[in-house]
Amino acid sequence: MPATPPTDPPLDPAATLADIGEFGLISALTSCFEQGEQVLIGPGDDAAVLRVRTGHVVVSTDLMVEGRHFRRDWAGAADVGHRAAAQNISDINAMGGRASSLTIGLAAPADLEAQWALDFAQGFADECALVGASIVGGDLTRADQVVVAVTVMGACTVAPVVRSGAEPGDVLALAGRQGWAAGGLAVLGRGFRSPRVLVEAYRRPQPPYDAGPAAAEAGATAMIDVSDGLLAEATHLAVSSGVAIDVRTDALDVPEPLHAVAAALGGVDPVAFVLSGGDDHALLATFPAGATLPEGWSVIGEVREGEGVTVDGAPWRGETGWTHF
C-alpha cells in the first residue's frame, strides 16, 4: 500500500526555510501529496517504487528558474506550482500518454517564507490531480534563487507519438488555447494586470490533457507540446520529419483580448501572439489527410514536400518563439 504522509501541526506563517530546516520542510511538503494506486513506495525512502501495468513508460525532465521562467511578483506560489506541473505533464501528453508520477527538486534561499514552498507544493499537487498523477519524491537544497527541477513519468497505452512521423499530405492541427499566455506576459511586462483573463492564462495554463491520448488513438503521425512558440514547435516537427509545414493564419483563433492588447501596444499584430507565444502548452500534431480529428482539434495548416515552415505560403519575418540562449 502507498505510504501515508504524516500529519504535522500548521507552520508559523512568518517562518522561513532556515527556521524550519530541511527535514521540517520535507515533512510539511509530503503532507500535501496524496499517493495513487500506482505508488508502492512514495516519499520518505531513497527512491520511489512504482507499479506499471501495461504500455510504454515515458519520462521527461524540465526546469524553472526564478527570473528566467517566472517572477514571484508576477505570480503567486500556487501559480508557479501549477505552471511547473503543467509544463511537465504536457510533455507526456505530447507523446500521447498520461502522466502518473512526478518528482520535484526545489532549490531556494534560506530566507524564503516556508509558506511559499507549501503554497507552491499545493498548486503543484492540485495540477497533478487533474490527471490523477502523484508526487512520489524529490530533493531540497539551498540556492540564491528559486529553482524547480521536475521529472515526470507516465505511460502510453498505444505507440508513443514522436516528432518524426509527419508525411507530405498530412494536415497540421492544434488543440488547446494558444497565444493567451504570451498576451498575459506582454501585459505583465509593461506593469499592467489586465486583461485579467490573459494574465491568469500566463499564471495558470490550461493544457488540453485529454487531447494527447485522443490524438494517439486517432492515428496522429507526429505531435509536440507548444511550450516555446507555435512556429518554433512546427519547425521541430518539420526538421525531425524531413518535411515542410505551412500554417494558415485564417484558421487560427485570435481571441478579442489579444486584439485589445495588440492595439494597446501600438498596433502589434495580434496573430503574432498565437504564432510565437509559448507557455499555454497547447498541442500541435499532424494527421493523415482525411482522418477524423478528435474533439478539440482543428486543422491549421498542412505538411508538404520540402523543408522549413511558412505562414500562408511565405516565410515569417517575425519571432518564432522563445529561445533559452
Residue ranges covered by each domain of the chain: 17-156, 171-311
60 is in an annotated binding site: yes
pLDDT confidence bin for 248, thresholds 50/70/90: very high
Q: Are 43 and 136 in contact (CB under 8 A)?
A: yes
Output the CATH code of domain 17-156: 3.30.1330.10
91 is in an annotated binding site: yes
Is residue 1 classed exposed, middle or buried when 0-12, 13-18 and 19+ CB atoms within 10 A define those classes?
Answer: exposed
322 is in an annotated binding site: yes
**Residue 325, pLDDT score:** 64
228 is in an annotated binding site: yes
61 is in an annotated binding site: yes
Q: What is the pTM of this model?
A: 0.86
310 is in an annotated binding site: no
d(CA 62, CA 82): 14
Q: Does the pLDDT at position 9 exceed 80?
A: no
138 is in an annotated binding site: yes
Q: DSSP strand E in 85-161: where? A: 98-108, 134-142, 147-156
pLDDT confidence bin for 4, thresholds 50/70/90: very low
Candidates 123, 86, 132; CA nearest to 281 is 86
Domain 171-311 in this protein, CATH class? alpha beta
- The residue with greater pLDDT, 240 or 53, is 240
246 is in an annotated binding site: no
Q: Are 322 and 226 in contact (CB under 8 A)?
A: no
Q: How many CB atoms lie under 10 A from the CB of residue 305?
A: 10
316 is in an annotated binding site: no
Give the CA distances from residue 119 to residues 39, 77, 111, 313, 315, in Å, rounded to whole numbers and listed in that order.
23, 5, 16, 47, 44
111 is in an annotated binding site: no
Q: Which percentage of the chain shows pLDDT scores above 70?
A: 93
Could you read off the pLDDT of 118-177 as tens digits, one per residue?
999 999 999 999 999 999 999 999 999 999 999 999 998 888 999 999 999 999 999 999
Q: How many helices and strands in the chain, by DSSP H and E?
A: 9, 12
How do 147-156 and 98-108 pair as beta strands? Answer: antiparallel
210 is in an annotated binding site: no
Candidates 299, 317, 315; CA nearest to 307 is 315
280 is in an annotated binding site: no
139 is in an annotated binding site: yes
**Cβ-based neighbours of 280, under 8 Å, separated by 6 or more:** 176, 177, 178, 179, 180, 181, 182, 201, 205, 206, 207, 226
46 is in an annotated binding site: yes
